[in-house]
């Protein structure tokens, strides 16, 4: 089995290294993956190998039945990636990171409330925090999928964040945006707590995000249309 192209392997390695450069993950913490096809196969970063010491050939190809192919062992969180691809066909790439602000909130086991309209960027009026389970377990995957219902990001209790996007570059951008949102919330809490948006205000934001983006990103907004 060797469906992954050199370009896909390079793209995934670029994401893994970018997570470190953006201080979203350090050392061997965190992982990322890229869907390879509709059958659920994917490419994932290896376990225990820092991105700066990795090569494109170290990215591990996973078959739909959860079997690893390649010269390295897959990330210990491969079950989470496997189950998320199976449950969410719109997910083209996944990022799991131990970023500072998301992890701080996750260690408080808090749901992020509607303090800013950018919450809607991730699919709902809140960002949930999944319950705690040991890393790499089926229990953690099950809890994460529950927290991600109708969402594209969640916190993992006492652990970190999970974000997915339509491709590797998009998933990385979403992870960076999510970490910034977590920082904004953390800072607002230090000031005494933010004022929250109403349900109506969040519903309006959610509706506007349905048509958000450039034509290449959003087929519902045809070229030549008004912004």
Tens of pLDDT along 60-85?
999 999 999 989 999 999 999 999 99
CB of 31 closer than 8 Å to CB of 79: no
What is the spatial distance between Cα 175 and Cα 127, in angstroms, rounded to a whole number?
A: 13
Which CATH number goes with the domain that contains 64? 3.40.225.10
Element (H, E) at 103: helix 100-108
Residue 58: inside a domain: yes
Look up the domain containing 10 and give its range.
6-209
Residue 227: inside a domain: no
Residue 226: inside a domain: no
Residue 138: inside a domain: yes
Question: If we measure between CA atoms, which residue out of 33, 40, 155 comes closest to residue 94?
Answer: 33
Residue 100: inside a domain: yes
What total of structural domains would you count in the chain? 1
Residue 224: inside a domain: no
What count of residues does the chain have? 227
Residue 156 in 3-state DSSP? strand
pTM, two decimals, is 0.91
End-to-end alpha carbon distance in the chain: 45
Residue 51: inside a domain: yes
CB of 56 closer than 8 Å to CB of 6: yes
Question: If we measure between CA atoms, which residue out of 149, 12, 19 comes closest to residue 96?
Answer: 19
What is the spatial distance between Cα 17 and Cα 225, in angstroms, rounded to a whole number?
A: 37
- Residues marked active site are found at 77
Residue 215: inside a domain: no
Q: What is the pLDDT of residues 165-222, one digit of tens each?
A: 999 999 999 999 999 999 999 999 999 999 999 999 999 999 998 866 655 554 433 4
């Amino acid at each position: 089995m060797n469906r992954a192209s050199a370009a896909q392997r390079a793209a995934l390695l670029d994401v893994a290294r970018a997570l470190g450069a953006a201080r979203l993950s350090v050392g061997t913490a965190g992982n990322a993956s890229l869907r390879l096809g509709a059958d659920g196969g994917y490419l994932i970063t290896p376990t225990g190998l820092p991105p700066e010491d990795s090569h494109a050939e170290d990215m591990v190809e996973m078959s739909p039945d959860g079997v690893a192919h390649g010269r390295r062992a897959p990330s210990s969180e491969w079950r989470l990636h496997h189950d998320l691809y199976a449950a969410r066909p719109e997910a083209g790439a996944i990022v799991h990171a131990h970023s500072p602000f998301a992890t701080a909130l996750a260690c408080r086991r808090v749901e992020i409330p509607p303090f800013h309209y950018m919450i809607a960027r991730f699919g709902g009026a809140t960002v949930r925090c999944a319950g705690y389970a040991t890393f790499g377990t089926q229990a953690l995957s099950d809890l994460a999928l529950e927290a991600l219902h109708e969402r594209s990001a969640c916190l993992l209790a006492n652990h970190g964040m999970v974000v997915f996007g339509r491709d590797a570059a998009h998933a990385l951008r979403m992870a960076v945006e999510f970490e910034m949102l977590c920082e904004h919330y953390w800072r607002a809490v230090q000031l005494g707590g933010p004022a929250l948006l109403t349900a109506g205000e969040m519903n309006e934001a959610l509706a506007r995000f349905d048509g958000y983006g450039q034509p290449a990103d959003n087929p519902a907004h045809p070229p030549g249309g008004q912004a």
